[in-house]
């Protein structure tokens, strides 16, 4: 039997089942004294367009920012390696200036990301946990304005040719508003509010597919546009897209929780709620058992390792492709980013097919195997054909993260979804910070012995979550078999 279309279910219709703050049901024949919450739009809508537009702006901006840093640093150092005929010849030693440009670009990426994500690490759990009582919509609107302000700062730097250190100012302003991770927390919490356990994995995968499709479109557009008109015009689109996302959330997205106007944002209660979830295991029936708390921590560890590899290695793709022996131009970099983001959509389709015959844990293992295989190929890629082969082998690499999000969501009570996804958003901020620090430091350090070593290192890291997920699934199957034999 087909699953119900949960996207068409209005959040207001599910408030009675998803919020623990609702009053008890009235006796038969009683009338409701409180009017229903006002509706801003009669058309059923959800948060997928918010995530799509926000991701579009981020995916359009990220590779262009790296390329702009590369060009500005190359200009300052007098490096013009992209025009050298021997750049694509692997037998020729690269210009020493190229290594210096690569190192400085990687380090500036590190400084900018560490600054932004370290601030977001404090702000994201605050906003995410507050949305349980204050409402989801503000968490969807405020970070988009922060990202728009970051785009304004970047445009000023490009127009006036200011030092690249001002990029860090833009990232800090975005981090203070919650950054993109706050939007992720709000969107996934919203989906948890309006979906049931049966459909949640697929609904989460739909959100992640929105990330991939928007990223694919932005990568194609950004690469072609930058080659034709430079950097400034694409960044105007980044600004417009963030403003459009905030406007859509304000006008069309309906609230999925009953907001409390008296709820305070700046209080330690929100951070304590996140910690209490992991220290006590939540309020569910099995929360007191050590196994339940262990599952929360272990699945969170798996999520941390997988996402750290995703974000840490992704930042190196542009650097890896810009330098010899690949020496890709902007358009080809755009196609490479599009191929990577296409895996979000292929992972969604693969997850839907595999759910017919496999349990979620085995689907996650298939996704991890796809990711590891692609990373090994990237580590030795010295031709364009081999690089795209690696992208092709990663066609299921995003099948693991929606499974992990769904498993975490099912381990806690419906009243704790906001606190849970606040902690997940906090973990994602930490993933950005750790991934950026490790991989942007490892890449220049490994240039002298193996340029693709960071990708090989990432593949080995993924063996850890694969082992944990497989072990937990085997334990669950043994327990189910033992319970069924006893009954």
If residue 35 lies in a helix (H) or strand (E), which one and from where to where?
none
The pTM is what?
0.72
Residue 34 has a pLDDT of 38
Residue 366 clears pLDDT 90, i.e. is over it: yes
Q: Is 284 among the domain residues?
A: no
Instruction: Determine the average pLDDT of the residues in 296-324.
Output: 89
Q: Is 409 among the domain residues?
A: yes
How is residue 358 written in tokens? 């496999």
Distance CA(366)–CA(350), nearest Å, equals 10
Residue 92 clears pLDDT 50, i.e. is over it: yes
**217 close to 55: Cβ distance less than 8 angstroms:** no
Dihedral of CA 224/101/306/466: which sign?
Answer: positive
Q: Is 404 among the domain residues?
A: yes
For the chain, the distance separating the N- and C-terminal CA atoms, rounded to the nearest angstrom, is: 28
CATH number at 315 reads: 1.20.1250.20
Q: How many domains, in total, are found in the chain? A: 1
- Provide the residue range defining the domain that includes 122: 43-78+94-253+299-486
**105 close to 75: Cβ distance less than 8 angstroms:** no
Q: Is 366 among the domain residues?
A: yes
Distance CA(281)–CA(279), nearest Å, equals 6
Q: Is 83 among the domain residues?
A: no
Q: Is 285 among the domain residues?
A: no
Give the residue carrying structure tokens 């702000």.
Answer: 123
Residue-wise pLDDT tens digits, 268-297: 776 677 777 777 765 554 545 667 778 889
Q: DSSP of 172-221, one letter per residue?
A: HHHHHTTHHHHHHHHHHHHHHHH--HHHHHHHHHHHHHHHHHHHHHHHHH
State the chain's maximal CA–CA distance in angstroms.
86
Residue 87 has a pLDDT of 54
Residue-wise pLDDT tens digits, 338-358: 788 788 889 989 998 998 888
Residue-wise pLDDT tens digits, 384-439: 999 999 999 999 998 999 999 989 888 887 767 777 887 887 787 788 778 878 99
Q: Is 22 among the domain residues?
A: no
Q: Is 381 among the domain residues?
A: yes
Give burial (CB, 10 Å; 0-12/13-18/19+) of 468. middle
For 428-461, give one letter per residue: b (16+ CB within 10 A) or e.
bbbbbbbbbbbbbebbbeebeeebbebbbbbbeb
């Amino acid at each position: 039997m087909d699953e119900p279309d949960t996207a068409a279910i209005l959040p207001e219709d599910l408030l009675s089942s998803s919020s623990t703050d609702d009053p008890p049901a009235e006796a038969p024949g009683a009338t409701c004294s409180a009017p229903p919450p006002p509706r801003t739009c009669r058309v059923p809508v959800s948060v997928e367009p918010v995530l799509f537009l926000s991701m579009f702006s981020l995916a359009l901006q990220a590779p262009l920012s790296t390329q702009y840093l590369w060009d500005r640093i190359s200009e300052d150092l007098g490096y013009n390696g992209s025009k050298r005929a021997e750049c694509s010849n692997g037998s020729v030693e690269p210009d020493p200036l190229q290594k210096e440009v690569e190192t400085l670009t990687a380090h500036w990426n590190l400084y900018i990301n560490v600054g932004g994500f370290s601030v977001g690490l404090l702000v994201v759990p605050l906003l995410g946990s507050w949305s349980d009582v204050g409402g989801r919509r503000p968490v969807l609107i405020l970070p988009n304005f922060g990202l728009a302000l970051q785009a304004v700062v970047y445009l000023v730097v490009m127009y006036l040719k200011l030092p690249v250190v001002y990029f860090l100012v833009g990232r800090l302003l975005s981090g203070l508003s919650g950054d993109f991770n706050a939007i992720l927390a709000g969107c996934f919490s919203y989906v948890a509010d309006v979906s049931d356990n049966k459909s949640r994995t697929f609904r989460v995968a739909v959100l992640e597919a929105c990330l991939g499709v928007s990223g694919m479109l932005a990568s194609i557009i950004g690469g072609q546009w930058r080659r034709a008109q430079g950097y400034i015009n694409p960044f105007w689109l980044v600004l417009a897209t963030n403003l459009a996302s905030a406007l859509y959330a304000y006008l069309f997205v309906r609230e999925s929780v009953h907001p409390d106007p008296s709820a305070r944002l700046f209080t330690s209660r929100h951070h304590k709620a996140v910690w209490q979830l992991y220290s006590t295991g939540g309020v569910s029936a099995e929360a007191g058992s050590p196994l339940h708390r262990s599952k929360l921590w272990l699945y969170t560890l798996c999520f941390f390792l997988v996402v750290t590899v995703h974000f840490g290695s992704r930042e190196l793709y542009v650097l890896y492709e810009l330098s010899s022996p690949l020496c890709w131009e902007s358009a080809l970099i755009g196609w490479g980013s599009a191929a990577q983001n296409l895996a979000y959509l292929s992972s969604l389709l693969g997850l839907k097919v595999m759910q017919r015959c496999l349990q979620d844990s085995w689907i996650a293992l298939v996704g991890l195997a796809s990711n590891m295989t692609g990373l090994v190929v990237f580590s030795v890629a010295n031709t364009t054909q081999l690089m795209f082969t690696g992208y092709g082998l990663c066609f299921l690499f995003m099948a693991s993260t929606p499974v992990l999000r769904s498993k975490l969501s099912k381990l806690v009570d419906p009243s704790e979804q906001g606190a849970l996804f606040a902690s997940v958003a906090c973990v994602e901020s930490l993933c950005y910070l750790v991934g950026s620090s490790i991989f942007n430091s490892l890449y220049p350090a490994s240039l002298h012995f193996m340029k693709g070593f960071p990708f090989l290192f990432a593949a080995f890291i993924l063996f850890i979550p694969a082992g944990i997920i497989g072990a937990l699934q085997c334990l669950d199957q043994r327990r189910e078999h033992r319970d069924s034999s006893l009954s």
